Structure 1
Amino acid sequence: MTSLAEGVDTSGALPTTMRAVVCHGPENYTLEQVPVPRPGQNELLIRVEAVGVCASDVKCYHGAAKFWGDENRPSWAETGIIPGHEFVGIVVAGSEEELSRRRLSLGERIVCEQIVPCEECRYCRRGQYWMCAPHEMFGFRGFNGAMAEYLLVPARARVHAAPSSLPAHHAAFAEPLSCALHAVERADIKFEDVVVVAGCGPIGLGMIAGARAKNAATVVALDMADEKLALAKKCGADVTINISNQDAIQIVKDLTEGYGADVYLEATGHPSAVPQGLNILRKLGTYVEYSVFRSEATVDWSIIGDDKELNVLGAHLGPHCWPAALKLLESGALPMDEICSHQFFLEGFLDAINLVGNPTGGSVKVSILP
């Protein structure tokens, strides 16, 4: 790995500059030498150990407008910002007051929730911080992310201590895993439920693990790649279906005396997965949507209302699920060496982004190790 950036402050404790990926617009990200931020009275500084590359990072890199076919729709990522919201790092600087407030020590490992809530809007005042109206997020809007050697943790950030026993890129998986567990919580899974998870990427695999932890009667995984379906089995799936050569709807109906699944969790981001879910569910079933789609999805709404009276729910971020995600990672129950399939150094950030954006690249979770 490349050494730390040149230049050290007068105390010798921290470098004065660092390497960081900076967004200058769609398909214009560059690796630059920038100042190491200095924490204020209510801030912390961490040395980044690992940062995961999310599908949303790929979307922002190419520009949200390109995916939506609307050139007037702005990209999520602000220009001049450092991307990266799935991260883990070591606390290297901060005031005694801030460390005490957070019950942390220098040298301790932490993860941060991706949203930095304002604590003032209607949603924050009601405890619904993950839907914060300004919606400032690490690596997208308002705060620099972790595709850098150091990251400033603002006072409003939601911080969790992370196990030191985990490899760094495994600990950074707490972010997508918490998101997956939130979707599972939204589904309100019962013991007798047949749960279908569409997509065996990082979020889908976390949903499978969460559904299994809820002791659903049967967990069914759908994907088009046999190797990902094999990984789904290791995460807790009872049944796997390759939708490229099997009829998922008929198989699930055969499993359920013709009724259909109780719960459908969507994690592919492909428009075809939406009608698939509506048709795979039984009457009065529950559909939970987590994905960010690259194109619009249209459905026959009469299936939702008149035909089946479905519960259709959304899920966003991973509120209140971070402790459970960290505990699940620490338990060793997930095949993390296989889930965390590819690691890159900071210089290879573009290769990492391109790999995540390549559906035939064979990756599951791609990480950057600054």
Structure 2
Amino acid sequence: MSQPVPTRMQAVVVHGPEDYRLEEVDVPVPGPGEMLIRVEAVGVCASDLKCYHGAAKFWGDENRPAYVQRGRIPGHEFVGEVVSGDQKAFDHHGVGVGDRIVCEQIVPCGECRYCRRGEYWMCGPHDMFGFRNFDGAMAQYLLVPIRARAHPVSKELAPHHAAYAEPLSCALHAVERAGIKFEDVVVVAGCGPIGLGLVLGARQKNPKLVIALDLDDAKLELGRRCGADLVINVAREDAVAKIKELTDGYGADVYLEGTGHPSAVGQGLNLLRKLGTYVEYSVFGSDVTVDWSIISDDKELDVLGAHLGPYCWPAAIKMLEDGTVPVADICTHQVGLADFQQALDLVADTSGSSVKVSILPNG
């Protein structure tokens, strides 16, 4: 049960910070329990950019081990068509040749304490597509191991729209962590790909008010289309003062941080009410310093982290398939594999018009 595939392919290979190269490599051959997919689209994440620029989070320093391996093919937000594999793989994943799938970023070991407790997204070894021990999708073909968590997705979606399932599922997990209630005022920092997913997810919880913050009016308008009741351009308006004005001086109930900018952390702590909830999703490129007494003595806040999108993929895929997401407006730029550097540069240009940038390796 297979389709003929070439023996060589084009792929982006990581050689070091700011040293990514387009190379010709062998097409991986699936072994027992493995599948091969023809990559249709791969989104470029802010974490890909921070990795490219050498952030310690990815390359390691005296305080943390390396997160990424040299010689690895990057790319973890992907969709592709199954082209080969064995029956064990097909039965395990519930798919077959010709089906379209997306995969979760984590490739859990299934054996560590976290995996045994169903907390697979915090897997101890933490193998991940595009970073550690498994090549990613900035290539024409990708190997899907049996340990991967694959999800079928409709062929009616444009490939780069389907690939948005990964950042959307991550945003939905952060929303779930927040425990949003009907009467809550929810503030979302950032209207990039993750922030817009946070707005979409928060809107599905039907709180009293969803407020989106950003520096860019066009992205704030997109935030409105994703479900924000109110938008605030923080370059022109004091978000803390405005939100306190809207809440009788108390502050917001929930703050969802999706910018990865250090200034957004203090902003969130200051605009929350006492006993409010702060959820941090972003990957920061540098250390962040805040007054922790705000969290404890001043407000007794619940401060929560969020990592990946566990158990949120079916909801994210459903939202994409049923048209809940204005995904054509979010997925603004697509380039070919040979133009991967342009894709990275578009993500880096925060003053530009790009929101979600994707690479189409076989386009």
Gaps of 5+ in 1: 1-10
Normalised TM-score (structure 2): 0.96
Indicate which of 295, 303, 310 corresponds to 2:294: 303
CA contact (8 A) 2:170 2:194 kept: yes
User: CA deviation digits over 1:204-235, x for unaligned, max 9?
Assistant: 00000000000011000000000000000000
Residue matched to 1:167 = 158
SS of the aligned residue for 1:318 comes to: coil
Indicate which of 95, 106, 124 corresponds to 2:97: 106
Residue correspondence of structure 1 range 37-76 to structure 2 within 5 A: 37-65=28-56, 75-76=66-67
SS of the aligned residue for 1:276 comes to: helix
CA contact (8 A) 2:60 2:67 kept: no
Number of equivalent positions? 360
SS of the aligned residue for 1:291 comes to: coil
SS of the aligned residue for 1:60 comes to: helix
Instruction: Tell me, yes or no, if structure 1 residue 208 matches structure 2 residue 208.
Output: no
Residue matched to 1:333 = 324
Indicate which of 6, 10, 15 corresponds to 1:24: 15
Residue matched to 1:268 = 259
CA contact (8 A) 1:342 1:367 kept: yes
Gaps of 5+ in 2: none
Seen in structure 2, the aligned counterparts of structure 1 residues 106 and 134 have a Cα distance that, compared at 3 Å, is same
Which stretch shifts more, 11-20 or 63-72?
63-72
Q: Distance in 2 between matches of 1:89 and 1:71?
A: 38
Which stretch shifts more, 236-245 or 249-258?
249-258
Residue matched to 2:172 = 181
Residue matched to 2:243 = 252
Identity level (%): 69
Residue matched to 1:118 = 109
Q: Give the root-mean-square deviation of aligned CA atoms.
A: 1.7
User: CA deviation digits over 1:156-176, x for unaligned, max 9?
Assistant: 000100111100000000000
SS of the aligned residue for 1:301 comes to: coil
Quote how far apart the aligned CAs of 1:20 are.
Answer: 0.5
Residue correspondence of structure 1 range 91-102 to structure 2 within 5 A: 91-102=82-93
CA contact (8 A) 1:253 1:261 kept: yes
Seen in structure 2, the aligned counterparts of structure 1 residues 74 and 363 have a Cα distance that, compared at 3 Å, is farther
Residue matched to 2:227 = 236
Moved over 6 A (4+): 66-69
Indicate which of 133, 139, 143 corresponds to 2:130: 139
Q: Distance in 2 between matches of 1:126 and 1:333?
A: 32
CA contact (8 A) 1:64 1:76 kept: no
What amino acid is the match of 1:25?
G
SS of the aligned residue for 1:30 comes to: strand
CA contact (8 A) 2:59 2:67 kept: no
Instruction: Tell me, yes or no, if structure 1 residue 152 matches structure 2 residue 143.
Output: yes
Indicate which of 342, 350, 353 corresponds to 2:341: 350
Q: Distance in 1 between matches of 2:90 and 2:24?
A: 28
